[in-house]
Chains A and B, each alone.
Chain A
Amino acid sequence: MSNRDACLGCGHFRNRPADIEAAMPGLTSLGSAYNSARGDDGLCLKHGRYIDARAWCADFFAIATGLTL
Chain B
Amino acid sequence: MLDFLKPPIQTFQEFVVLSGRAVGNIVRRPHYSADVFHQMDVIGVGSLPICSMVGLFSGIVMALQMARALTTYGAESRVGEIVSITLVRELGPVLTAVLVAGRNASGMASELGSMKVTEQIDAMRALGTDPTQKLVTPRLIAAALMLPLLTIIADFIGMMGGYFIASTQLGITSSEYWTAAWQILEYNDLAQGLLKPLSFAVIIALVGCLYGMRTTGGTQGVGRATTDAVVWSSLWIFFVDALITQFFVNL
Same complex origin of A and B: no
